[in-house]
Amino acid sequence: MTRESQFVVTVDTEADDEWAGAATRTYRNLLALPRLQNLCDEFGALPTYLVTHDVAMHPEGSAIIRDLAATARCEVGAHLHAWTTPPHVPQLEPDARARPYLSEYEAGVQRRKLENLTDAVTELSGSRPTSYRGGRWDVDMTCLDLLDELGYAVDTSVTPLVSWRRARGVTKGGPAHALAPQDAYRPARNDLYHTGDHPLLEVPVTIGALGLLQQSAFAWMAAGLEHRRLLWAGPKRLMAATGIAARVWLDPVSTSSEDMIKLCSWMMSRGTRCLNMAFHSSELAAGCAPDVPDDEAAARVWRRLRDVLEFAASQPEIGFSTLTELAAARGAGPKCYAGVGQT
């Protein structure tokens, strides 16, 4: 890993259409993972599949991921959906529609959920996971400290320029990531959004503002409005329509190939050393996610994936890595846990 910037592909590997809140889950989208791996192989990309507990326990889905993990062409990490990971707490999971944040549980339950997810992914892949993403982008210092205790090296739950305060769980809103750094960083021991010497590396999703407004101004505006629960959708649409600023994710579902390439180029021009493309496995198959309702939408996602991977592969200053490889290069490699090293 000697190139100036690293490109990581992070895939929330989960059931079909988790947004629907169906009582019975299906896993048709996982059949698309070998195709994704082949596309990544074509350009030398090394995807990190962040796997939920229910996927790890699903016979057919886990077999697909186990086969991919055995090839050493990817990494298998952990993705915690609090509502599908035991132990279950009826007060916070009253029905299939409930989508609680992990941070809504008391610390002891949080730890047990993380332990159960870690054990399930270990059984699935044969190696203890060292990369993590919280469901609904939920992470805080309690979670980071627990992840450190459990032997993780890297978290990728932070979404710069985005606050989830208005996205309700069961008892509260989500995390407020708007003012987080946009490049990979070590958080402070007591503050997720400032750099410091925490053992874990934080790898934010690559999100930026394209347009006339500077990134920092967009961030402060977003934070001020969203934290105060003021109406923010109208100003966002106006800024995008007038070219003042549009918030752009490195995400093949919501963002065009052109804008993703612009975003990558702009981020690198300001010294960003990590580009993190994030999406859900369910967005790879028609009818498995709200934004991918049909074959045309699915084909568009695949075209954008190819375009961006081809762009990254063509840039001499960009290399590909998994999340844990990136963490190791930054001095945050996996530790031993309970006397047992990595397998």
Task: State residue 246's pLDDT score.
Answer: 78
Q: Would you call the peptide bond into 334 cis, given omega within 30 degrees of 0 as the criterion?
A: no
Distance CA 252, CA 262 (A): 13
- For the record, the structure tokens of 3 come out as 């190139």
Distance CA 150, CA 110 (A): 12
Q: What H or E segment, with its residue span, contains residue 71?
A: none
Task: State residue 179's pLDDT score.
Answer: 86
The whole model's pTM is what? Answer: 0.91
Name the CATH topology of 5-329: TIM Barrel (3.20.20)
74-79 mean pLDDT: 98
Distance CA 57, CA 86 (A): 12
Task: State residue 178's pLDDT score.
Answer: 87
Note the pLDDT tens digit of each residue in 233-287: 545 554 444 445 578 999 999 999 999 999 999 999 989 999 999 999 999 999 9
Check residue 313 and report its DSSP letter. H
